[in-house]
Amino acid sequence: MDPRITIIKDRLSSVKRIIAVASGKGGVGKSMVSTGLALLLSKKNHKCGLLDLDFHGPSCHIILGVDKLELIEEKGIIPPTINGIKFMSIVHFAEEKPVAIRGKEVSNALIELLAITRWGNLDYLIIDLPPGMSDEALDIMRLIKNQEFLIVTTPSKLSMGVVEKLIKFLKSMNANITGIIENMVMTESNIVEEFARKNKVRYLGKILYDSELESCIGSIECLLKTKFIQNLLEILEYMKSLSC
Ligand SMILES: Nc1ncnc2c1ncn2[C@@H]1O[C@H](COP(=O)(O)OP(=O)(O)O)[C@@H](O)[C@H]1O
Ligand SMILES: [Mg+2]
């Protein structure tokens, strides 16, 4: 028995809602959705944390426009605060070097990160996951019992095909699925709504393709004014109205 597992439970004991953003596919907008949700929640004065668990492709720091951050060590690590968000990522430790770890090493790094981070009281902890049923996703299912999964897909058969597998897997593990967000919508269609109905998962709403989004990456002020964030806000309001 790894003693860090008990510590992790303790570290997360004052976090009210843990939302892991997942998808079968890469490039569908998980990191944008995770970071956007954290920005919106903190803007609405909720105590919010953001944990970037995509060890091989961490992106939340790029979206937020933060460089190397000062970590405060005090009986663990107190995550740096960006725009009111307590932000934790492997990049705080790995700098810009690629993180060449796999399998057991990923698990070990993840356990260590969760065991050292002092989140304190949070209303929400948003976790940005890598694509698919990665080591990170499997580990957080094992280590964190009360989290919800928020699934992101684009209205493409390629994305929905792998998302369907992820949903089946999450259901087989009795995981709590909040619902599906449809991202990068370019044409009118109800294909993802039907997909959600077929898979018995709640459809949470759509985010339109926003051609201005790319130019706002790295600037929180600019991001908060995008159509992407406006669409996400509507989804967040709906999510908050659901009792999970
Ligand atoms: N609704 C959207 N409109 C336009 N571009 C988007 C939208 N959502 C995400 N993107 C862009 O798509 C790319 C992939 O997004 P990202 O969040 O990194 O995906 P993932 O984390 O799933 O790999 C990024 O360049 C991001 O800016
Ligand atoms: Mg990502």
pLDDT (tens digit per residue) in 90-127: 888 876 666 666 778 888 888 999 999 999 999 999 99
Query: Domains of the chain by range and CATH?
Result: 3-241 (3.40.50.300)
Which pLDDT score, from 0 to 100, does residue 5 have?
A: 87
Q: CA-to-CA distance for 23 and 170, rounded, in angstroms?
A: 11
Give ligand 1 pocket residues (Cβ under 6 A).
23, 26-32, 59, 183-184, 207, 209-210, 213-214, 217, 228
- The SS3 of residue 185 is strand
Distance 214 CA to ligand 2 centre (A): 14
Give the number of other Cβ atoms within 10 Å of residue 161's Cβ: 13
Which pLDDT score, from 0 to 100, does residue 95 have?
A: 61
Which pLDDT score, from 0 to 100, does residue 98 have?
A: 63
Write out residues in the chain with pLDDT < 50, as ranges: none
Given ligand 1 and candidates 63, 185, 213, which is best to mutate, with the most ligand atoms within 8 Å of its CB?
A: 213
Which pLDDT score, from 0 to 100, does residue 135 have?
A: 82
* Distance (Å) of CA 21 to CA 114, 132, 212, 244: 17, 11, 23, 15
Which pLDDT score, from 0 to 100, does residue 50 have?
A: 98
**Nearest protein CA to atom 8 of ligand 1, as residue:** 29
Q: From start to end of the chain, where are the E strands?
A: 15-22, 48-52, 72-73, 77-78, 81-82, 85-89, 122-128, 148-153, 176-185, 203-208
